[in-house]
Structure 1
Amino acid sequence: MPRTHKKITLLDYIKKFIFITIGAVLMGLALEVFLVPNDIVDGGIAGISIMLSKITSLPLGVFLFILNVPFLILGFKQIGKTFAFSTLYGIAVMSVTTAWLHSVPAFTNEKLLAVLFGGLILGIGVGLVIRFGGSLDGIEIVAILLSKKFRIPVGQIIMMINVFIFVAAGFVYGWDSAMYSIFTYYIAFKLIDIVVEGLNESKSVTIISSEYEEVAQAIMDRLGRSTTFIYARGGYKKEEIQIIYCVVTRLELAKLKAIVHEIDDRAFIAIEAVSDVLGGNFQKNNIH
């Protein structure tokens, strides 16, 4: 039988629209009432826009929109129609929000509080938009295009661009503000991860033990997680071995290690972060 694809319902579009709107408004709020009044910049196009607004005295929202739109047009074919329109809508809402809040006084003139709360709200806002299929900064599109041309990882390109932005911020606002800006960006970056991936981050665990059957059974019985055996061959003794592979949440990791070491204190355990878990059934089995 042909495989059917899940159709995106009207409710899905409404949900997407609502959360992208909320995220864009939160970013505009963070910029206008926390960061900009305290001479703190963000990374990416937003950071460039803040500095240009400072130099020219033109509204921040104008630069946010004008600088982002060309990159959206440039990368339209690369990022897809849905993502492009979602991003364009988010950027438009963010620009309007900054214009609307421009005359609102700063919530605080204490730079440390501005860094903490500005970074927190910024991260939540951007994270919501990314989670629901959009973006608020054309720097990601630039990085994708440059990555394909020069074979450099997207993350490294974004980091290099942001280094130049924060150095420029040091010349425009002073080096204290540039350092505050780096901490703001770090806080926002961490919050984006939490919003996009959730607090219940998954971990993949690889276990090599001579007691593999007992260990696998204990993980299923006491932790409620399924396991998979991977047949392998030792590199030193060339003996046939079976590797146990399973995926658990971060909160279950300590218990899993205790279970394994209780059975085999010489077991080899390798743990890696998993950005997302798709397919199969990641729900816990019933534990009696």
Structure 2
Amino acid sequence: MNNVSRILIIFIASIVVGFAFNVFLLPHEVLTGGVTGLAMVFGLLTPVNTGYWIFLLNIPILILGWMKLGKMFIGNSIFSVFITSVSMLYIPVVPVTNDPLLSSVFGGVIAGAAIGVIIRNYGSTGGFDVVSLVLIKRWDVPLGGLIFALNSGVVFISGFFFAWELALYTMASIYITGLVIDRIHTRHIKLSLMVVTTRGDELKKNLIANLYRGITVMDGEGAYSGTGVKVMYTVISRPELALVRPLIKEVDPNAFVSVSETVEVMGNFRRD
């Protein structure tokens, strides 16, 4: 059922991406970044629909992702690219508003939210999403920011083929898309986790069995009660917090837990 749910979510989100492109971005020739942006340029300059260009240009990048990110990820990505391409064939290119700035903002928000959901469900919309996901396995940087940096070249391409004003709208759109992606895909955010518990051994075993993180355990004592406690410290990624919460509550519902955002992590820390 988890796989079925994941595929269904990717299916719906991919249609939303196609909707954002055809209803908000393409009618005003406001492009998106990377390979999809190039496909939009080709779609606007040739009689071939943008959906076909998206599929064709993504083939070599999907091969790279197959080698670096695994079969399941690329299978989901191919499915997403296919659904987006097909949806763009059937969703009419009709503007909701005549204001290109509003279209850039709302198109960026909707596309970013949908792409973020797809990535969280172990897929992508192809193009520079795949390249960025390969790169963040080596560099611990925000995914949306990296996608924005890689996609910025499309701004210059769109400026040469269309008005530079539209190129600036494009920059605004892909910047907003990147911000929204980072709100959803938060793996680059690291959290410091400190747990004070009277059931240290049991909780330690439970965390080690389910969490791929090192844990430092220290002896402590309650200042008022004088009771001996265990103090556990580790650093986790933001999505892992949803896994840790029920693990702690299951073993010791009365444990004291402190969570704070970490600025930087150095040393032996698993980043993928």
Name the TM tier (shorter chain).
0.5 to 0.7
Change (3 A) 1:187 1:144: closer
Contact 1:202 1:276 in 2 (8 A): no
Q: Which of residues 44, 48, 62 in structure 1 aligns to 2:52?
A: 62
TM-score (norm 2): 0.68
CA RMSD of aligned residues (A): 3.7
* Aligned-partner Cα distance in 2 for 1:137–1:187: 19
Contact 1:44 1:137 in 2 (8 A): no
Contact 1:202 1:277 in 2 (8 A): no
* Aligned-partner Cα distance in 1 for 2:113–2:242: 27
1:81 and 2:44 equivalent?
Answer: no
Number of aligned residue pairs: give it: 221
Paired position in structure 2 for 1:176: 165
Contact 2:14 2:114 in 1 (8 A): yes
Contact 1:169 1:175 in 2 (8 A): yes
Cα distance, 1:202 vs. partner?
A: 6.8
Unaligned runs of 5+ in 2: 198-214, 220-230, 257-272
The SS at the match of 1:277 is helix
**Deviations for 1:202-248, whole angstroms, at most 9, x for unmatched residues?**
74379xxxxxxxxx89xxxxxxxxx96779xxxxxxxxxxx99577x
Change (3 A) 1:137 1:204: same
Paired position in structure 2 for 1:196: 185
Unaligned runs of 5+ in 1: 1-10, 207-215, 218-226, 232-242, 248-272
Paired position in structure 2 for 1:257: none
* Percent of paired sites with the same residue: 30
Cα distance, 1:121 vs. partner?
A: 0.9
- Report the AA paired with residue 114 of structure 1: S
- Report the AA paired with residue 24 of structure 1: S
Change (3 A) 1:144 1:105: closer
Cα distance, 1:286 vs. partner?
A: 4.0
Aligned ranges 1:105-120 → 2 under 5 Å: 105-120=94-109
1:277 and 2:240 equivalent?
Answer: yes
Contact 1:26 1:124 in 2 (8 A): no
Change (3 A) 1:22 1:276: same
The SS at the match of 1:75 is helix
Contact 1:53 1:59 in 2 (8 A): yes
